[in-house]
Amino acid sequence: MKPSTSPRGVIQAACAMILVGTLTAVSAAISRYPVYGGQAVRYAVAAVILLTVARSRERSGRTAGRPPARSRLTLREWSLVTALAATGLVGFNLCVVEGTRHTTPAMIGTVVGAVPVVLAVVAPLMERRRPAPHLVAAAVIVTLGAAAANGLGGGSLSGLLLALGALVGEMAFSLLAVPLLPRLGPVRVSAYSAAVATPMLLAVGLIVDGTAVVRIPTAGEVAGFAYLAVIVTVGAFVLWYDALGRIGADRAGLFAGLIPVSAAATTMVLGLGTPNAAELTGALLVGCGVAAGLGGGAASRRVSRRLGVGPREGAGERYVAGEGRAGREASEKASATVSTPGRPATAVAPPSDQGEVRVADASCS
């Protein structure tokens, strides 16, 4: 299926990032638990749930007379799953947690908030097609909105480098999943990546915390980790990865800007604070950017000209007119690599451990 503005894909991408933004609601409940051990527990529980769902769907398919899908991964697929777990899950968390020791959560959130621009440019190039100017312009607007909502913060050079590492991890969380989705589907991609990430995080935890890497959680921590495992990991991951196959990584990336907006709204709903002027301005910019990206080139250029960002008038038309048959054929070939067969998975990041929760605008990883 050719990536498009599929209503289902749009809704799934938005819901996934909104769920990630609600992480602020559980940050206090798990703040005293060992970070890496907690993340390992989160992914282990999620992997068990996802693998159970995948096995159940496989049995249902056999009962209905459908031929079973080949479930054994190839060497290339194992390599991609391992790279996805190491960068998009473990690497992302490691950079975020360690980064908060050298810089502010706002700085990390702002750097990682650039993921819409990165996906708008890199995702099409990986599929051998040119980035759509209107999507790049819309991504810039979304990124500006996320930066306004987060605040810029400050910190050291090492903190900035770790924030850039988190940005790479967030980008890898989506891009490395794209070639896996057509055959494995969102559920298995989520399950395998969570399962592979679990021992990696335990190893990091043993190095950092020693034998204190895990302990018996309190009742409040159990509730917090249950929310992370079921809602954010199982729910948001599956929604996000299914959305990637329906609307493409470049369009889906726009919705990463909803994470800080959702975090601010959650804080207000729970009575923990009131959004300030910067957060409201950021929310407005994010909304304009998403609307411009989904509305097509003309809508994006109108919004971009008013905000002073994006391509000049006419740039989009020149690109479309000059693309020709070769561009259309490249787009059709690229679209085949991101389609999700039938019904088979997430920001951004992702996310999270305590450090990740503190920068809930980071991702669904």
| 3-state secondary structure (DSSP) of residue 311 | coil
Say yes or no to pLDDT of 302 above 90. Answer: no
Instruction: Give the DSSP H/E element, type plus range, for residue 10.
Output: helix 7-21
Q: What's the confidence (pLDDT) of residue 152?
A: 63
What average pLDDT score do residues 129-154 get?
Answer: 83
Q: What's the confidence (pLDDT) of residue 150?
A: 72
State how far the Cα of 121 lies from the Cα of 118, in Å rounded to an integer.
5
Q: Say if residues 242 and 2 touch (Cβ distance below 8 Å).
A: no
Say yes or no to pLDDT of 338 above 80. Answer: no
Which tokens in the block code for residue 164?
Answer: 């850039």
State how far the Cα of 43 lies from the Cα of 365, in Å rounded to an integer.
10
Query: Which parts of the chain fold into alpha helices (H)?
Result: 7-21, 27-30, 35-63, 75-84, 92-99, 105-112, 115-126, 133-150, 157-175, 181-209, 219-227, 237-247, 249-252, 258-269, 277-295, 297-307, 315-336, 354-358
Residue of 116 and 276 predicted with greater confidence: 116
Q: How does pLDDT run across 68-94, given as a tens digit for each residue?
A: 555 689 999 999 999 999 999 999 999
Kindly write down the DSSP assignment for every residue of 51-90, as one continuous string.
HHHHHHHHHHHHHTTPPPP--SPPHHHHHHHHHHIIIIII
Q: What's the confidence (pLDDT) of residue 109?
A: 78
State how far the Cα of 339 lies from the Cα of 2, in Å rounded to an integer.
7
Q: What's the confidence (pLDDT) of residue 365?
A: 67
Q: What is the mean pLDDT of the chain?
A: 79
Residue of 44 and 331 predicted with greater confidence: 44
State how far the Cα of 3 lies from the Cα of 317, in Å rounded to an integer.
20
Q: How does pLDDT run across 194-220, given as a tens digit for each residue?
A: 999 999 999 999 999 999 999 999 999
Say yes or no to pLDDT of 353 above 70. Answer: no
pTM for the predicted model, two decimal places:
0.76
- Between 251-260, 304-313, 339-348, the lowest mean confidence (pLDDT) is in 339-348
State how far the Cα of 85 lies from the Cα of 91, in Å rounded to an integer.
8
Strand ranges inside the chain, DSSP E: 348-349, 363-364
Domain boundaries, the chain: 7-352
Half-sphere exposure of 78 (CA within 13 A, CB side): 5
State how far the Cα of 354 lies from the Cα of 340, in Å rounded to an integer.
33
Which tokens in the block code for residue 240?
Answer: 């996000």
Which tokens in the block code for residue 16?
Answer: 């996934």
CA distances from 297 to 118, 124, 289, 301 (A): 19, 16, 12, 6
